[in-house]
Structure 1
Amino acid sequence: MAEKAPDTPIKATCHCGDISITAPRRPACVNECQCTLCRRYAVAWAYYDPAEVKVEIKEGAATIKYIWGDRDHSFDFCTKCGCMCYWWPIKEQSTPKMGLNTRLVDPDEMRYVTRNIDYDQLYVPIGEGTPHPEDKAKY
């Protein structure tokens, strides 16, 4: 498959197809965050301004949210197939950002995108929230 232009929109769908997310462009890189939560989800995040992303949920379908720690983000899963779809900011941010799980995107669309494994989050305190027992941050 030939490489597509970087500004070509990408579409992510959960396994059953009830949840679809469209981002305006392919990301420059994908982050495989190693925090206590993301490494368990085995996600590969692309980050966007939430205003740029369109989330579509089929009639009768739903997401379930997991909110933990500093309560800054909602991690949203499809209730039917269980796929981790995205994280969404709950609290207002100075630089709005949400994460799209690129593992839900056709692999050919992501073939030429650089992958980073980010270990920095291992040592970042979770605000005022309750730390995970495996959290390596100093509080």
Structure 2
Amino acid sequence: MLRGSCHCGAVKFEFREKPEWLTECNCSACRRYGTIWAHGSPKNISIEKAPDATSAYIWGDQMIEFHTCRTCGNTTHWSDLDADYDRMAVNTRLVPFKDVKDIPIRHFDGADTGRFLD
């Protein structure tokens, strides 16, 4: 299990499985956010926050929304806007390093090919 929170603690998450790998994406949003994602089913991820604790940003194909803490500015997670898509992700940069240091990081070319580079 992975647990993390934004810098101020207003948004906390729990990823209730160990991911096979983490994903670093080079799309224009992820590159700027500096995120490393753990993807999983929303059934295995819980987000604890007040209803207005995050600001959501939707762009491009309008399929996902990035959530950022309104207080400290950390990007905490993204969720899918398509109810039929069973994926979301949490930002593992907000998880203690000791908990993620042994999980491989795959590089995803979200800027161009939409494929993993390894």
Shared topology, TM-score over 0.5? yes
Structure 2: stretches of 5+ with no match in the other structure: none
User: Could you say which residue in structure 2 is the equivalent of 1:69?
Assistant: 60
| Matches for 1:68-87 after TM superposition, within 5 Å | 68-87=59-78
Structure with the greater alpha carbon radius of gyration: 1
1:50–1:98 contact (8 Å) kept in structure 2? yes
| Matches for 1:98-137 after TM superposition, within 5 Å | 98-119=88-109, 121-124=110-113
Question: Using the alignment, how far apart are the partners of 2:78 and 2:113 within structure 1?
Answer: 18
Question: Using the alignment, how far apart are the partners of 2:76 and 2:63 within structure 1?
Answer: 17
Deviation at 1:92, TM superposition (A): 2.4
- Aligned match for 1:29, one of 9, 21, 46: 21
Structure with greater proportional strand content = 2
Amino acid of the residue matched to residue 108 of structure 1? K
Question: Using the alignment, how far apart are the partners of 1:118 and 1:72 within structure 2?
Answer: 18
Identity, in percent, stands at: 30
1:18–1:61 contact (8 Å) kept in structure 2? no
Per-residue CA deviations over 1:39-79 (Å, capped at 9, x if unaligned) read 11110011010121111015x86100001111100100000
User: Could you say which residue in structure 2 is the equivalent of 1:90?
Assistant: 81
Amino acid of the residue matched to residue 107 of structure 1? F
Amino acid of the residue matched to residue 102 of structure 1? T
Question: Using the alignment, how far apart are the partners of 1:10 and 1:61 within structure 2?
Answer: 24
Q: Partner of 2:72: helix, strand, or coil? A: coil
Question: Using the alignment, how far apart are the partners of 2:20 and 2:26 within structure 1?
Answer: 19
RMSD: 1.6
Q: Partner of 1:100: helix, strand, or coil? A: strand
Structure 1: stretches of 5+ with no match in the other structure: 1-8, 126-139
Deviation at 1:124, TM superposition (A): 4.8
Deviation at 1:26, TM superposition (A): 2.3
